[in-house]
Chains A and B, each alone.
Chain A
Amino acid sequence: MVTDTANRLRSQAEDSVNLRRKLNRSLRMQKVRALLLIAPLLIFILISFLFPIADMLFRSVENKIVSQVLPRTVASLQSWDPANSDLPNEATFRSIYADLAIAVEQRRNTRVGTRLNYESPGIASLFRKVKRGMTKIDVSSFINFFNDLDSNFRDSEWLAREFSEPELAKLLPFSASALEYWRVENPEGGQPDSYLYVSLAVELISASKAELGELERPIADFLVKAQEQLPRLDHVNLRDAFLEIDRKWGEPTVWRTIKMYSSTLTTGYLLNSIDMKKGLDGPEFRDDSERLYIKIFIRTLVMSLTITLCSLLLGYPVAYFLAHQPLRRANLYLILVLLPFWTSLLVRTSAWKVLLQQEGVINDFMVVLRIIDDSGRLIMINNQFGTIVAMTHILLPFMILPLFSVMKTIPESYVRAAKSLGASSWTAFRRIYFPQTMAGIGAGSVLVFILAIGYYITPELVGGTKGTFISNRIAYHISSSLNWGLAAALASLLFGAVLVLYWVYDRIVGIDNVKLG
């Protein structure tokens, strides 16, 4: 009897497990089918949307160029103390000679100069000048030094055979890469360029003699010998040669900048975008005269919120009016709301100029009506007021549409019910109608705010000096200064700020309460 019951219970449990398994299987099939259906869209979004954004955001920390173009210099500067006001040693100058000689051939000297110029103005022309300057530097001693050791050093084929030994390439990596680069550029062979010999001379200083000796290659003996005889090159002074090209090579700032921005990932752009910079003792704030971005960030947020609020105040009654019209007339009015989209943004913005400027329509009108004196014409454009007016106008439809579509779904009977229950019109609106439009307010506000925060054409045209947004600076760095790293950093911060606001919004209002229609 007891076992009977137990058996029955067990078989029931098994049945339910089986049932759940079956259900899961059928649900999984449904999910897979649904996923397959949206796969093309998903892949499209991934490739055309998420990947480029991720790539752009990554640029805010990406900094490969310095270590790629100046690998020998970066390695050599490792032992140099940037806090020291002394210049780096001769080996560093020889390293940068080899690096720049290759970079000039690749036309990358100016590019790394541009990168470093973002951090320390003046470096761009320093790196540009080396193209002509380096041809004047006499490095024949390096070439002769190795040729005197053995005439085989003139033969790129022989060198290539020797360097094909992995042990050697590991021991003298920069020389190996210099040789490889030369052979790619000069497939016909012959005597390598000076940078290979300079590179060899630099690397031999610190190479282990024992390991060199252990190599079972003809070159091993020559390299050991070369290492012993290196002091013969001490008289060569590339440092003075560089100072002759430009005195600035003698300023520790240049070397400090190279060292500080040599890592492949940098915080430099992000620090810059919050008005800070890398100092010797970690991040520090910039001078007051250079602080810009935090102020503009705050301004962007405050003005976007203001615009959102203005759109809401203006859009709410309009949406309410539309939602309470007969369908056919509502559609007609809706077209009128959308009408501005048929004209170009520039035209709409320019129209505001005509209306708001000091000699403009509104001022003229008020002078005629004697509301203001001719000498007391109001300044309503090229400031924050102008930006808020123009942008509110442009973004208003994005507020009206979600509000309208939400209001349309609220039956009139709610307000009637409230009234019949004793609520005055105002109470019925405040306690019954308004709360039900929250979803539309949420959607409209999020839409308008996010659009506003990224706007730059209108603020640029009517914003004057006080009405520009952070996007204006991003646009400047993307299209004018080409400092894409900084642009990406600013964009990342903006993105972060939006995410934070979104989170706050979710906490306060609840994102489920957003309805676009």
Chain B
Amino acid sequence: MKIDRLVISSLGALAVSAGSAAAIDLTVVSWGGAYSQSQINAYHNPFMELNSDVNIIHDESAAEAVAKLRAMNEAGNITWDLVDVVASDAIRLCDEGLAMEIDFDTMIAPAPDGTSARDDFGELIVTDCFIPQIVYSTTFGYRTDVAEWGGREPSTVCDVFDLENFPGMRSLEKRPINNVEWALHCDGVPLGEIYDALGAEGGLERALAKLDTIRDHVIWWSAGADTPQLLADGEVVMGSTYNGRLFSLIEEKGAPVKMLWDAQAFDLDGWIIPEGLPADRLEATLALLRFATDTQRLADQSKYISYGPARKSSAPLVGMHIELGIDMAPHMPTDPANAENTLIYDYRWWSDYRDDIDAKFQAWLAK
């Protein structure tokens, strides 16, 4: 059986290589689960249909991508071709010289109307090495059946800090990013001035003091699946997680939970190409990258998962969910109705202060 398949695939490869250049394997690294599936459906399978000489191998170790890329680089043996990472990791990889710098004008397809890719992505280009794919947000979901709330429902992110009107356990991510911003915001800092306040003397202490007011009512999560599970089990009454996870909890599983879009924290996920690929693999990878980040493909992805396409030109093309048949536009974090009040994550600031603040945050947690 195995041998059969081997024979068939090598025959296939033979047939292809007779017609075109030799077949090539590309290793594409992503997060696994529903997210990888959305990429496979929207980009990888269509690309392989168009380019029969390319075989895409899916690797699901994006969570350790940064460490693994560094290890590969030190060993001088790069086995990955295209890697899905969040923006902050892309900045690290770029800083470390582990990711290739991208020329948006030549390597990335322009929008159908001729707008250059650089303008189409706009301010989402946070580092030279990173091609954003989706905008996702970390935001809150809350249960709609909490008796103690007497029919009230949270309307702003600051209700998370309001134990009087909204008693019960909350779940927050076990890291400082987003939490300290929300804390400062709810301590009276306007969203636009968060990072100035955080960088100022005593800024972090102020945020931690605000978090202190609810710390006995917090379950800290470290995996994206935690909060949906905790909400479903009734272990917490509200909690932060990625909007796509909440979408599937609410729309696919029908849990009595609602989204709280207020002060959602935008973040980006996208591709990097490891530095130092051999020429043939680089060429194939660039072809895949150009295809996977064009306007239509990014819009296609939102058929499978509720994350917003990173290109402005893709937004009008967002349609229905392929299985649920729901119009996906209102579920995008970028939808104007959801994005009235958003936290713009400052990558530069965090790349400088993340380690320092994380140490202090962990010390605070351990107290």
Contacts and interface: CB of A to CB of B under 8 A. Distances in A.
Q: Do A and B contact each other directly (Cβ–Cβ < 8 Å)? A: yes
Interface of A: 107-108, 110-111, 113-114, 117-118, 121-125, 128, 289-292, 295-296, 299, 357-360, 382, 460-461, 464-466, 468, 473, 476, 478-484
B222 A461 contact: yes
B161 to A, nearest CB: 18
A461 B219 CA distance: 11
Contacts of B364: 289
A124 B95 contact: yes
B64 interface: yes
A122 B352 contact: yes
Interface in B202-220: 205, 219-220
Interface stretch (B245-253, B297-305, B353-361): B353-361
Given A114-B96, A464-B219, A479 B366 contact: no
A110 B360 contact: no
A111 B366 contact: no
Contacts of A113: 95
B95 A128 contact: yes
B360 A289 contact: yes
Given A359-B235, A464-B220, A465-B366, A481 B95 contact: no
A289 B204 CA distance: 11
B240 to A, nearest CB: 16
Nearest to A288: B363
Nearest to B233: A359
Given A110-B95, A114-B92, A482-B67, 13 more contacts: A114-B95, A114-B96, A117-B352, A122-B352, A122-B353, A124-B95, A124-B352, A125-B348, A460-B222, A465-B174, A476-B358, A479-B64, A482-B92
B355 to A, nearest CB: 5
A290 B351 CA distance: 19
B319 interface: no
Contacts of A123: 352
B260 interface: no
Contacts of B324: none
B70 interface: yes
A125 B127 CA distance: 12
Contacts of A291: 363
B124 interface: no
Q: Which of B70, B96, B359 has the most CB of A within 10 A?
A: B359
B96 A111 contact: yes
7 contacts: A121-B356, A123-B352, A292-B363, A359-B234, A465-B365, A468-B366, A483-B355
A466 B359 contact: no
B359 A292 contact: yes
Contact of B96 (A118, A122, A476, A482): A482
B109 interface: no
Given A359-B233, A483-B355, A382 B363 contact: no
Interface residues of B, number: 36
Interface string B60-104: 000110110010000000000000000000001011110000000
Q: Which of B174, B233, B357, B366 has the most CB of A within 10 A?
A: B366
Contact of B363 (A121, A289, A484): A289
Contacts of B234: 359
Contacts of B279: none
Nearest to A128: B95
A387 B356 CA distance: 27
B21 interface: no
A289 B205 contact: yes
B156 interface: no
A121 B355 contact: yes
B50 to A, nearest CB: 34
The 5 closest A-B CB pairs, nearest first, are: A110-B95, A121-B356, A479-B67, A465-B365, A292-B363
B1 interface: no
B238 to A, nearest CB: 15
Nearest to B226: A461
Nearest to B205: A289
Contacts of A299: 366
A71 to B, nearest CB: 18
B362 interface: yes
Nearest to A127: B95
A221 B70 CA distance: 48
Nearest to A120: B356
